[in-house]
Amino acid sequence: MASSIIKLAQIGTLESRKHLFAKVSELVVADLDQRTEQELALFSDVILKLYDTGSLTDRAALALKLASLTTIPHDLACRIAEDDITVAMPVLADCPVLTQEDLLDFAQRFSQPHLQAIARREDLSTDVSDALAARNDRTVNRLLAGNRHIRLSRETMLLFVKQAEEDPVLLEDLALRSDLSPAACRALLPLVSDEGKKRLHSLIEGSLTQEQLDQIARLKALRRQFGPALANPDMAQLWQEAERANMTVDELMILLLQDGRFDHAVELLGTRGRTSLKALKDAVYDDKQDLVIKTAAKSGLETATFALFSKARCDHLKRPAAQGSEWTLAYKRHLEGLAEVRQSRCNDFQANRGRKPRPLQQVSPPQAAE
């Protein structure tokens, strides 16, 4: 490898420099985790001199390898960030050595595709997000509104509220943010659905957490992803599709309950909990909570999801709401009991591991009769 690199450097043609870029990149990237900062700095000096001769494919491959590296030389990171978007994307979106000052500079002068990559970053300051919003690109603003890892300034938030009047996608993402000010919430109230109004009132009252908002956003994304396929009445097939999409049983259960498909929710429990559907339906309709609780536990249902299932059951069968609370409490206790049993077994196993085996006792031979 070293001799071929030297030969390429000696030739000095444009084509040889292109190959030299590829060879030097390959040499460094092959053992990237073993490279010292000094070696990377030297590599950066060489590769920057060759950068304009590297092919688009080779530059893109190099950027992808270096994007998440905390020791990538700053000058090289900035050079890659200014490249074609197919090369710059991973560095703009993730590179940790780019400072807020770098990002602010980029936000003021880079192309729209580059801005879209920056808007996905989880470390944007309000100065950078303000500069991005000032470029007035619809896709960039949608990405900023949907980026719940960052905080938006009051000015940008109010700008987005105004734009949301004519942009339903922006409106949907904006209404799910946890950093909405009371003023922004009130401005959004006339624009959203009844469900959205409840969410915004909860935000004003401070009763919705970011985790809950993230779950709402995730469920909306799953609905868009599945589309008509979500209406499949075959729960075994639907669950297979859900698994392929990395959907959890809790998420699918919530979507079914939101759509009023209670019987399908029962069938999903039976499928996941390996319980006879007839036996499970009888238990659900005849108030036999033990089988339902054990099946839900085998399905891996979280307590909060079981609470939704219990409430939907009461609504569906016209049972008192208090019964739903009783079932949820019983389910919580059942899960706690299972956890205690697992912990006890783990403790016993650990204790037995440290215990030396008792030596076998020698059995004395029988005494001969005198």
Q: Are 175 and 216 in contact (CB under 8 A)?
A: no
The length of the chain in residues reads 370
- 58 inside domain: yes
Note down pLDDT in tens along the chain; length 370 residues.
Answer: 444 444 444 445 556 556 677 777 777 776 767 777 788 888 888 888 888 888 899 889 889 988 888 888 899 999 999 999 999 999 999 999 999 999 999 999 999 999 999 999 999 999 999 999 999 999 999 999 999 889 999 899 989 999 999 999 999 889 888 788 778 888 898 898 888 888 888 777 765 566 666 777 778 888 888 888 888 899 989 998 888 888 899 989 988 988 889 999 999 999 998 999 999 999 999 999 999 999 999 999 998 889 889 999 998 999 998 888 899 999 999 999 988 888 877 776 666 665 555 554 444 444 444 3
Q: Quote the pLDDT of residue 206.
A: 63
- Render pLDDT for 34-46 as a digit per residue (tens, 0 to 9): 777 788 888 888 8
Q: Provide the token pair at 13.
A: 């043609």
Count of domains forming the chain = 2
Last residue of a domain, one of 74, 98, 122: 98
- 111 inside domain: no
- 11 inside domain: yes
Give the span between the Cα atoms of 200 and 185, in whole angstroms: 6
- 82 inside domain: yes
- Render pLDDT for 138-184 as a digit per residue (tens, 0 to 9): 999 999 999 988 999 989 998 999 999 999 999 988 988 878 877 88
Give the span between the Cα atoms of 264 and 233, in whole angstroms: 7
DSSP state of 355: S
Last residue of a domain, one of 59, 79, 98: 98
- 215 inside domain: no
CB atoms closer than 10 angstroms to residue 332: 15
Residue entry with tokens 């905080």? 151
Q: Where are the beta strands (DSSP E) in 151-204?
A: none
- 275 inside domain: yes
Last residue of a domain, one of 80, 98, 116: 98
Note down the domain range covering 74.
Answer: 1-98
Q: Which pTM was predicted?
A: 0.57
- 249 inside domain: yes
- 294 inside domain: yes
Q: Provide the token pair at 81.
A: 């960030």
